[in-house]
């Protein structure tokens, strides 16, 4: 390499001895460093582990139509199946190339109204092809920002892609609405995501204190408890038990499962919709949950007995 540099006309002055090659050496070093950095960046993209969505997140798996008793998983951040410590969903109105567009966000406290919205694709047109997940094409969760007033609703979609559902918000304040859905794309893939938007109820807002952490509660004469401890970075089982007068309750299938669990994080209302395992024993439902961060969470456990769906609520602290 040194001999090539010595013989090169570019390494000499026009009519004299060789020119100072220190500048040339420095240039070659800097050029090589730039090439190495660019190569490393390219390898990093090749090893990213999946195809990127329009927002840069990895596209979701293609098997999101679930029958009763299928393997448990979480619907976390848009487009991905939440693994241990994964980010929560519902924090933005737009993710994975889809946007939640409400017709209006203002409600009157205690007055019945309709929530209307569309899910728009990257082309700004309403999406109309949704996979059936737990017997519904879209699940709508509504809760006030103090983690009270939970509702689990199922809107209906018109032919033009407009979703609507009757909604009554009883108390003033800011409420969060989550649209949990899976899109059937024209390419034959399924993309699961959860989008969120704030709803405003005018009036004097008095936030409620979050109840203390507990593993047992009662609702409409049913005693509901759970065992298990959520942790960060590892999926842990939570086993819920429902009894009445000391005997296991006769749980009925609801939306294709014997129970549903929605978990919201205090502070930013981050959303985790955790699907259940098969029923292990009468009156019991097991879920698998990975906490994304330390803090307090509010868990909402839906179960059905006698054709009536009830919700048991728990506060849990994750250390």
Helix-strand-coil split of the chain, %, nearest 5: 10, 45, 45
pLDDT at 61 over 70: no
What pLDDT, on a 0 to 100 scale, did the predictor assign at position 87?
A: 67
| Same-domain check for residues 161 and 222 | no
Residue count of the chain, please give it: 319
Return the pLDDT at 29.
39
Which helix (H) or strand (E) segment is 83 a member of? none
Q: Which residue has the higher pLDDT, 23 or 44?
A: 23
Total domains, the chain: 2
Instruction: Tell me, yes or no, whether 184 and 251 share the same domain.
Output: no
Whether residue 171 is contained in a domain is answered as yes
Note whether residue 272 is domain-resident: yes
- Specify whether 81 is located in the same domain as 180: yes
Q: What is the mean pLDDT of residues 232-237?
A: 89
Q: pTM above the 0.85 mark? A: no
Q: Residue 276: what pLDDT?
A: 86
Instruction: Identify whether 34 is part of a domain.
Output: no
88 pairs with which residues across the strands?
none
CATH code, 113: 2.60.40.1930
Task: Let me know whether 185 and 236 are in one domain.
Answer: no
227 and 160 within one domain: no
Q: How far apart are CA 237 and CA 148, in angstroms?
A: 25
Q: Would residue 101 count as lying in a domain?
A: yes
Same domain as 249, residue 178:
no
Among candidate residues 148, 168, 201, the one where a domain is terminated: 201
**Does residue 197 lie within any of the structural domains?**
yes
Domain boundary among 168, 201, 234: 201
Coil, strand or helix: which one is 46? helix
Structural domain boundaries enclosing 265:
216-318
d(CA 246, CA 283): 11
- Angstrom distance (rounded) from CA 296 to CA 315: 7
CB crowding 149-175: b at 16 or more within 10 Å, else e = bbbbeebebeeebbbebebebebbbeb
pLDDT in tens, 143-170: 999 999 999 999 999 999 999 999 999 9
* pLDDT (mean) for 257-265: 95
User: Mean of the pLDDT values across residues 233-243?
Assistant: 93
C-alpha distances (whole Å) from 127 to each of 79, 97, 101, 182, 237 are: 15, 11, 11, 11, 35
Please give the span between the terminal C-alpha atoms of the chain, in angstroms, as a whole number.
60
Domain assignment of residue 54, yes or no: no
**Tens digit of each residue's pLDDT (9 = 90 or more) over 36-50:** 333 333 333 333 333
User: Binning pLDDT at 50, 70 and 90, where does residue 16 land?
Assistant: very low
Tell me whether residue 25 is in a domain. no
222 inside domain? yes
């Amino acid at each position: 390499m040194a001999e090539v540099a010595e013989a090169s006309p570019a390494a000499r002055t026009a009519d004299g001895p060789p020119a100072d090659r220190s500048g040339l050496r420095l240039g070659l070093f800097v050029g090589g460093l730039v090439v190495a950095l660019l190569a490393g960046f390219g390898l990093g993209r090749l090893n990213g582990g999946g195809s990127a969505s329009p927002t840069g997140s990895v596209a979701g798996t293609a098997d999101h139509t679930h029958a009763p008793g299928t393997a448990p998983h979480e619907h976390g951040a848009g487009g991905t199946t939440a693994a241990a410590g994964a980010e929560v969903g519902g924090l933005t109105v737009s993710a994975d190339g889809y946007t939640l567009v409400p017709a209006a966000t203002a409600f009157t406290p205690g007055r019945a109204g309709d929530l209307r919205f569309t899910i728009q694709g990257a082309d700004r047109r309403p999406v109309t092809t949704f996979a059936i997940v737990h017997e519904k094409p879209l699940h709508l969760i509504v809760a006030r920002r103090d983690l009270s007033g939970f509702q689990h609703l199922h809107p209906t979609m018109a032919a033009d892609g407009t979703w609507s559902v009757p909604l009554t918000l009883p108390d003033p304040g800011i409420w969060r609405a989550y649209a949990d859905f899976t899109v059937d794309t024209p390419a034959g893939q399924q993309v699961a995501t959860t989008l969120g938007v704030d709803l405003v109820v005018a009036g004097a807002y008095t936030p409620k204190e979050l109840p203390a952490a507990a593993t047992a509660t009662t609702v409409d004469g049913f005693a509901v408890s759970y065992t298990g401890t959520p942790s960060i970075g590892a999926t842990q089982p939570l086993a819920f038990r429902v009894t009445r007068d000391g005997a296991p309750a006769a749980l009925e299938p609801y939306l294709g499962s014997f129970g549903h669990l929605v978990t919201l994080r205090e502070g930013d209302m981050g959303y985790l919709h955790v699907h259940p395992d098969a029923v292990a024993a009468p009156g019991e439902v097991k879920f698998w949950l990975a906490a994304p961060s330390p803090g307090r969470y509010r868990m909402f456990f839906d179960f059905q007995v006698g054709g009536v769906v009830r919700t048991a609520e728990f506060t849990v602290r994750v250390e």
